[in-house]
Chain A
Amino acid sequence: MGIATSAGFAAVSARAGEPIELAMEQLWLAGVVTPAGARLRARHRCRSAEGRPLEVIYAFGLPRDAALRRFRVTGEGFSVRSELKPVKEARRSYEEGLEKGHLAALAEQYRDGMMNLTLGNLRPGEAAAVYLEILAGVENDDTGFRFRFPFTLAPAYHGRARMADGGEIELPEDEFGDLVLPRWREDAEGLHEVGFQLKVSMPCSIREIGSPSHAIRVAYEKDGQGRVVSGAARNAPDRDLILDAHASGSLSGVLAGLDKAGRGRFVALIASERFGVARGRSRCLVFVLDRSGSMAGAPIEQARRAVEACLGAFSADEEFGIVAFDDSVEVFGATLRKATREHRQEARDFLGRIGARGGTELARGVLEGARLLGSQGGDILLVTDGQVYGTETILAQLRNLGIRVHCLGIGAASQDRFLSLLARKTGGLSRFLSPSERVDTPALELFASIGRPVATGVVASVKAPGAKIEIEPAATVFAGTPLAVFGSAAGTGEARLQVEWNGDGRMEVPFEIGESRQGELVRLLTGARLLAELESEAKRISGEVEPRLEALSLEYGLASRAMALVAVIERPGDEAGVLPETRVVPVGMPFGVEFESYFPAARTGMPRALQLGRAGKAAPAAAVAYRMARRASAPGEKSAELVELAAEIEPDGGMPGSTDHERILATLLALLRLLEEGHSLTSGAFRVHVQRLVAFLEARIPTLGEERKKIAAAVVEMAKAGESVPGEWTATQAANAAAQWRQIQRALRAAGRI
């Protein structure tokens, strides 16, 4: 790699604007990802091409439920492991090492899961690598998981942030201490290279591993094992890595084994289908839409369409509200509205006026949603990119509202940690998408689950010698998302997990704790999750929280906001007292985020309005490739067509039409279309719509003549059986009604349904 040459780029400089050599050459991710979480090793390779010692600062954000375990610094003739120390002590060790001319490294955590990895006294021409070991959580569903790793960092909104020319954000010191953020580069080409080689491990056979973010090559090995490597020759640090892994069937199972101390550890994943089906209750839901500038373009457009489609799944006696927020809050109606035809049309008009613009006062938006719901409670569906600093304050404001907040995150760089915590702390669900994916279908998928959980009041216990539940599981289970239970026992042997819910629901999961080394992984994942939860409770680490965090850090051997990792390496010829030149590793603006939404005068230092003759910039090759990948991976027209179809459903569950018979026919066609695309009464993002269409037809079938009654009843039976018949079910709606009935009849006959 020719990065240590002047062909690099004019990046973060000692003095603003001064071209410099690149201090970090490569970030390479390796490790194993399982449905319980990931154990990762991120190699940061640094090299100084300058004539004086360097101090390199790399800023990054932790993934969801993540913590650093340790690092190792290697170079010519040395390989040294980090020590875990209280932050002040670690800083002192680092500074003393630096003062003596030694190579020193420090990994320190700040608010919002932000990290600074600092490598000091890198000699001219010297190369060194820091291998960070990271434990991270994954986003589970019933058949697999989504894993995200931040290869870049999203800029975010904070009311007191100072935005500097050329892509810098400075945060208030009283909240963020000496955290150094990178300079954001509009064009990530020429920055350090990122890459990955990961092992995926499932307890059953893998159906598919894919990535909406990167080109990948996958090798499926023995049952349940797969290897994923980057498929591109070179990747720029401008988006998260996202991997989706899905099993051939349900993922229910227990991962168990012994940790290093000989204690049994387990994590049980129980698919939601084992809790039964959702109870039908009237929905009370407020949509809270982020309209901040960073949502400009496709995200805001899709979020709007997602809400419109969800409105189609409401019945007239259900209630909804809409809140749009940036740095101010706009509400559709002062109170909740019944989902009547008129109100839904008014809501569509309201949504049509929503455009992306200001900052991100996320808490105000959600609080307004909670006010609309009032004392009766309910659910909020928050659609946001989550690009906001100071998340602990937001969590403190929202966790005790008694309202479930479900998060649909959008973005190329991860605020996944925050949104997953927000959902979990309020009893909701979270999903995070990349800009390459449609937002409307996942929104419908979330919508179909929320408001109607499959189990509430969930309580877990475990029977085995010395056993206990380490992390209380979610009290509510939603369709499509498994229950995760983390626990431990005295050692190996048989154990039984008991789960009770809804007063009378009960299941028992027997399992064996063997001597598998997976137990240590489970222990570390348990610790990382406990730390993430505790850290989310405090804006500042002091008083009561600091000793608790220290104790938890020490118990699990993981870094936190109270405990940092430090290493000092003595090399022959170290020269004391030489002041290293500080360099901050720049990162690329996350793909899909407009540079100008954060940095208005970035290119020239002049206000945007004064920039004359600004030429359009050709997209870098990687960006073009990514856009092509986006096209290839997007579900495409079919999905958009279904969303539009769903949005048309009337409050009584039928499709629109000028007469009852016309409506019945249109409803049959819509139902056949959804069934054909794999949506049924119990599965698929449009399952609520299928339920409503079926309910409408069942109520209206008696009004039909005998022959048509048989046809409609056969379609309803087919829907109940989760079956479909092929046909052109969308193109026929404008055609002659009698011909359409005959077409349905022919298709049903051909399928042997009548």
Chain B
Amino acid sequence: MSRDARKSLAELAEESGVPARTIRYYIARGLLPGPLVAGRAASYGPEHLERLAQIRALQGEGLTLAEIAHRLAGRAGAELPAPTAWFSYPVAEDVIVMVKAGSAPWRLRRVQAALRSLAAALAQEGRSE
């Protein structure tokens, strides 16, 4: 990599729009690799910029930082992706709805309420047929 492509932490923060403290936090959490060169000339490359964009995108999908760390580690092939648990709701004989476990309790209750309605509607439909 050319020296020109390397950036200081301040430049990386400026270009990515992610505050420098957040970048350090991501490095500490294993979401982002450390600088290319340590010490006085510490610098960051395009891969850091790309990784920050990935993190943003995954956050936009609703993933937590812990989930993003596992996801990114899985892509790199360094370790197995984290296992994900799902609840299975058979709302009708021919319909199963999968809901990701570990949602906030209030969100899960909302989903369960919707599933109850769906199950009732499907049962009603079955009877009228």
Q: Which residues of A contact B85 (CB under 8 A)?
A: 601, 606-607, 610
- The residue from B29, B30, B34, B102 contacting A579, defined by CB atoms under 8 A apart: B34
Question: Which residues of chain A from 565 to 598 have a CB within 8 Å of any chain B CB?
Answer: 575-584, 596-598
Q: Does B35 contact A (CB under 8 A)?
A: yes
Which of these, A15, A157, A177, A582, contacts B69 with CB under 8 Å?
A15
Closest to B20 in A: A95
A94 to chain B, nearest CB (A): 8
Residue among A57, A166, A600 with the highest chain B CB neighbour number at 10 A? A600
Q: Which A residue sits closest to B24, measured CB to CB?
A: A582
- Contact between B64 and A596, CB atoms less than 8 A apart: no
B 15-47 contacts with A by CB, 8 A: 19-22, 24-25, 27-30, 34-35, 38-42
* A164 at the B interface (CB under 8 A): yes
Is A714 engaged at the interface, CB distance under 8 Å to the other chain?
no
**Given the interface contacts A576-B40, A579-B27, does A600 sit within 8 Å of B65 by beta carbon?**
no
Taking a contact as CB atoms under 8 Å apart, the answer to whether A180 and B106 are in contact is no
Docked-complex contact A15 and B22, CB < 8 angstroms: no
Complex Cα gap A337–B8 (Å): 67
* Assembly CA distance A292 to B107 (angstroms): 12
Residues of A within 8 A of B124 (CB): none
Determine whether A14 belongs to the interface, using a CB cutoff of 8 Å to chain B. yes
* Bound CA span A157–B109, Å: 15
Question: Who on chain B is nearest to A577 by CB?
Answer: B40
A residues 478-525 near B (Cβ < 8 Å) are none
Known: A164-B64, A170-B64, A180-B25. A607 touches B101 (CB 8 A): yes
Are A358 and B66 closer than 8 Å at their CB atoms?
no
In the complex, the answer to whether A55 meets B102 with C-beta atoms within 8 Å is no
Q: How far is the CB of B101 from chain A (nearest CB, A)?
A: 3
Partner of A327, one of B19, B35, B42, B106: B106
Whole-angstrom distance between the alpha carbons of A202 and B65 in the complex? 49
Query: Per-residue 0/1 for A331-350: is the Cβ within 8 Å of any B Cβ (1 yes, 0 no)?
Result: 00000000000000000000
A178 to B16, CA, bound (A): 14
A99 to B10, CA, bound (A): 9
Q: Is the CB of B64 within 8 A of A118?
A: no
| Contact call B104/A600, Cβ cutoff below 8 A | yes
B64 partner residues in chain A, CB cutoff 8 A: 162-165, 168, 170
Distance A685 CA – B20 CA, assembled complex (angstroms): 54
Whether a CB of chain B sits under 8 angstroms from the CB of A141 is: no
Please tell me which one of the listed residues A166, A326, A578, A605 contacts residue B38 in the complex, with CB atoms under 8 A apart. Answer: A578
* Across-interface contacts of A166 in B (CB, < 8 A): 66
B66→A99 contact, CB < 8 A: no
Report yes or no: A578 in contact with B39, Cβ–Cβ below 8 A.
yes
The contact of A600 among B22, B27, B108, by CB within 8 Å, is B108
Known: A99-B9, A607-B85. A165 touches B106 (CB 8 A): no
Looking at the assembled complex, report how far the CB atom of A10 sits from the nearest CB atom of chain B, in whole angstroms.
Answer: 15
In Å, the complex CA distance between A491 and B27 comes to: 55
Provide the bound-state CA to CA distance between A304 and B48, in Å.
54
CB A245 to nearest CB in B, in angstroms, measures 38
CB distance from A294 to the nearest CB of B (A): 10
Q: How far is the CB of A597 from chain B (nearest CB, A)?
A: 6
| A106 and B39 alpha carbons, distance in the complex (Å) | 23
Instruction: List residues of chain A with CB within 8 A of the CB of B19.
Output: 91, 177-178
**Smallest CB-CB separation from A18: which chain B residue?**
B30
Q: Is B62 on the interface with A (CB-CB < 8 A)?
A: yes
Knowing A327-B110, A579-B34, A600-B108, the reply to whether A16 touches B101 (Cβ < 8 A) is no
* Residue contact B106 to A178, C-beta cutoff 8 Å: no
Contacts of A91 in B (CB 8 A): 19-21
What is the distance, in angstroms, from B47's C-beta to the closest C-beta of chain A? Answer: 16
The docked-state distance in angstroms from the alpha carbon of A91 to that of B21 is 9
List residues of chain A with CB within 8 A of the CB of B13: 95
Neighbouring B residues of A609 by C-beta, 8 Å: 87, 101
What range describes how many residues of B lie at the interface? 35 or more
CB within 8 Å for A583 and B109 given contacts A99-B10, A162-B63, A178-B21: no
Within 8 A of A (CB), among B75-124: 85, 87, 101-110
Tally A residues with Cβ within 8 Å of B. Answer: 50
A-B contact count (CB 8 A): 126
CB-CB < 8 A to A359: which residues of B? 104, 106-107
* Identity of the chain B residue whose Cβ is nearest the Cβ of A158 in the assembled complex: B104
Is B27 a contact of A598 with CB atoms below 8 Å? no
B21 surroundings in chain A (CB, below 8 A): 55, 57, 91, 95, 118, 178, 180, 582
Taking a contact as CB atoms under 8 Å apart, the answer to whether A600 and B105 are in contact is: yes
Q: Which of B30, B62, B105 contacts A14 (CB 8 A)?
A: B30
Complex formed: what's the CA distance from A115 to B30 in Å? Answer: 25
* Chain A residues positioned under 8 Å from B69 (CB to CB): 15-16
B30: chain A residues within 8 A (beta carbon): 14-16
| Chain B residues, CB < 8 A from A118 | 21
Closest to A100 in B: B40
Known: A99-B9, A607-B85. A579 touches B24 (CB 8 A): yes
Q: Which residues of B contact A173 (CB under 8 A)?
A: 59
Q: A426: shortest Cβ distance to chain B, in Å?
A: 26
Q: How far is the CB of B1 from chain A (nearest CB, A)?
A: 18
Alpha-carbon distance A606/B67, docked complex (angstroms): 14
Q: Are the C-beta atoms of A55 and B24 separated by less than 8 Å?
A: yes
- The smallest beta-carbon distance between A101 and chain B, in angstroms, is 9
Identity of the chain B residue whose Cβ is nearest the Cβ of A116 in the assembled complex: B21
> Bound complex: CA of A598 vs CA of B69, how far in Å?
22
A663 within 8 A of B: no
What is the CB-to-nearest-CB distance from A164 to chain B, in angstroms, rounded to a whole number?
Answer: 4
A598 partner residues in chain B, CB cutoff 8 A: 104-105
Interchain nearest-CB distance for B62 vs A (Å):
6
Complex: A166 Cα to B64 Cα, angstroms: 12
The reply to whether the CB of A737 lies closer than 8 angstroms to some CB of chain B is no
Q: Name which residue of chain A comes closest to B62, CB basis.
A: A162
Which of B25, B66, B103, B106 is close to A292, meaning CB atoms less than 8 Å apart? B106
A residues near B62, Cβ cutoff 8 Å:
162
Cβ A170 vs Cβ B104 within 8 A: no
Whose C-beta in chain A lies nearest to the C-beta of B99? A607
Contacts A95-B10, A99-B9, A582-B25 given: A293-B38 contact, CB under 8 Å?
Answer: no
State in angstroms the CA–CA spacing of A609 and B89 once bound together: 13
- B87 and A607 within 8 A (CB): yes
A577 touches B10 (CB 8 A): no
Q: A579-B34, A610-B101 are in contact. List 13 more A-B contacts (CB 8 A).
A: A15-B30, A164-B64, A168-B66, A357-B109, A359-B104, A575-B40, A577-B40, A584-B25, A596-B105, A600-B103, A607-B85, A607-B87, A607-B102
Interface pairs A-B: 3 shortest CB-CB: A607-B101, A359-B106, A358-B106
Q: List residues of B whose CB falls within 8 A of some A CB.
A: 8-10, 13, 19-22, 24-25, 27-30, 34-35, 38-42, 59, 62-67, 69, 85, 87, 101-110
28 CB-based A-B contacts, threshold 8 Å: A15-B28, A16-B29, A16-B30, A57-B25, A95-B10, A95-B21, A162-B59, A162-B62, A163-B103, A164-B67, A168-B64, A170-B59, A170-B64, A173-B59, A292-B106, A358-B110, A575-B39, A575-B40, A576-B40, A579-B9, A579-B38, A581-B28, A582-B21, A582-B24, A582-B27, A598-B105, A609-B87, A609-B101
